[in-house]
Amino acid sequence: MAQNGSDKGNNSRWVGFDLGGTKMLATVLDEEFNILGKKRRRTKGHEGKDIGVERIVETIRMALDDSKLTKEALSGIGVGCPAPVDLGRGIVLDAVNLGWKNVKLRAALEKEFACPAVVLNDVDAGVYGENQLGAAKKARCVVGFFPGTGIGGGGVYDGRIIHGMNTSCMEIGHVHVTENGTLCGCGRKGCLETEASRLAISAEVAKAAYRGESPYIMKEAGTDLSKIRSGVLAEAIKSGDKVVEVIVRRAAGLLGTAVANVVQLLCPDVVVLGGGLVEAMPEIFVEEVSKSAKARVMPSYVDAFQVVAAELGDFATAKGAAAWARKVVQDGQAN
């Protein structure tokens, strides 16, 4: 890992980068993780690893320009990626949405910016951010579940991200919940993502709209899944489309079943729910996930954990990645 001498004390400057499936966000942050500059851009899908890495570098430069800082001011860079990651070596193992396999992103960033860099799974970054700066401050053990197009999971124990020997873990979206269920993008059937992701919810809502059971959805989005997004679902419920609320609550309950299984294994202090669906409907998700999970754990665990909504919003992954970069620099190690 590249070294730059120290973390520069209270004058530290960090880059936190969220490499989403459809967008990228670069933020320049001070030691208190206040935003000094930022830049958002859309990703371009399967554009090839060389072009993709070049666009990440360009976006960080744009954020630095916005902050009126140069790369010499940086103490470190953290990048959250929507993919399994080799945390120790900073390699993106298999980013399906980007068409990447075994991309040595950390090495490329350290060469370009001459400072330490870390690469981690985006939900791991978001959960770490919530543990350090948001809804799960000071929790000894926190797990996070972020339903969106898929369902991501992450965990932190005693201030360290939970991971395998050579890869990130907590792929909660691929926990099996339905026997002989719907085919998942991973190639298996009955995964949680096929029942409780935003895409799964939108598909059921589109069917309801087609049957005439959701007039708000039919008016605003029709049966086009690309238009039935989290905010539209929330507005449909507010407008009185009861069937939409039933579908959303069922999905949240299934998510709670998966949460219960993780609670039985790790007994976290806090379970954090994040992502677009939760941001749009926090009360429904916290209520249903908590109710479902507490109904399924051992009696001694019922009061051992709380379910909360994430607090950092769009900046959870970027801030969490930067916070992890700071920890790695301060610890002087890569994982």
Q: Is 2 a member of any domain?
A: no
> Is 118:317 a contact under the CB 8 Å cutoff?
no
Q: What is the mean pLDDT of residues 5-24?
A: 76
Q: Is the pTM of this model over 0.85?
A: yes
Q: Is 230 a member of any domain?
A: yes
Q: What is the mean pLDDT of residues 243-251?
A: 97
Q: What is the pLDDT of residue 14?
A: 98
Same-domain check for residues 102 and 201: no
> Is 100:83 a contact under the CB 8 Å cutoff?
yes
Residue 334 has pLDDT above 60, yes or no: no
Same-domain check for residues 198 and 306: yes
> Is 151:282 a contact under the CB 8 Å cutoff?
no
Residue 157 has pLDDT above 60, yes or no: yes
How many structural domains is the chain composed of?
2
Q: What is the pLDDT of residues 34-44, one digit of tens each?
A: 999 999 998 77
Q: Using a pLDDT cut of 70, give the percent of the chain over it.
A: 94
Same-domain check for residues 184 and 225: yes
DSSP state letters, 167-185: SB---GGGSB-STT-PBPT
Residue 198 has pLDDT above 80, yes or no: yes
Find the CATH number of the domain harbouring 237.
Answer: 3.30.420.40
Alpha carbons 99 and 318: distance in angstroms, whole number? 22
Structure confidence at residue 7 as a pLDDT band (50, 70, 90): very low
Q: What is the pLDDT of residues 169-191, one digit of tens each?
A: 888 999 888 888 889 888 889 89
Residue 8 has pLDDT above 60, yes or no: no
Residue 329 has pLDDT above 90, yes or no: yes
Same-domain check for residues 171 and 93: no
Query: Six-digit token pair at 168?
Result: 């990130």
Q: What is the pLDDT of residue 289?
A: 98
Backbone dihedral region for residue 310 (phi beyond 0: left; psi -120 to 50: alpha; all else: beta): beta
Same-domain check for residues 148 and 95: no
Q: What is the pLDDT of residue 10?
A: 59
Same-domain check for residues 124 and 209: no
**Range of 208's domain?**
137-310
Query: Six-digit token pair at 51?
Result: 């072009």
Residue 302 has pLDDT above 90, yes or no: yes
Same-domain check for residues 156 and 229: yes
Q: Is 1 a member of any domain?
A: no
Q: What is the pLDDT of residue 48?
A: 65
Beta bridge partners of 273: 145, 309
Mean pLDDT computed over every residue of the chain: 91
CA 208 to chain centre: 29
Same-domain check for residues 211 and 115: no
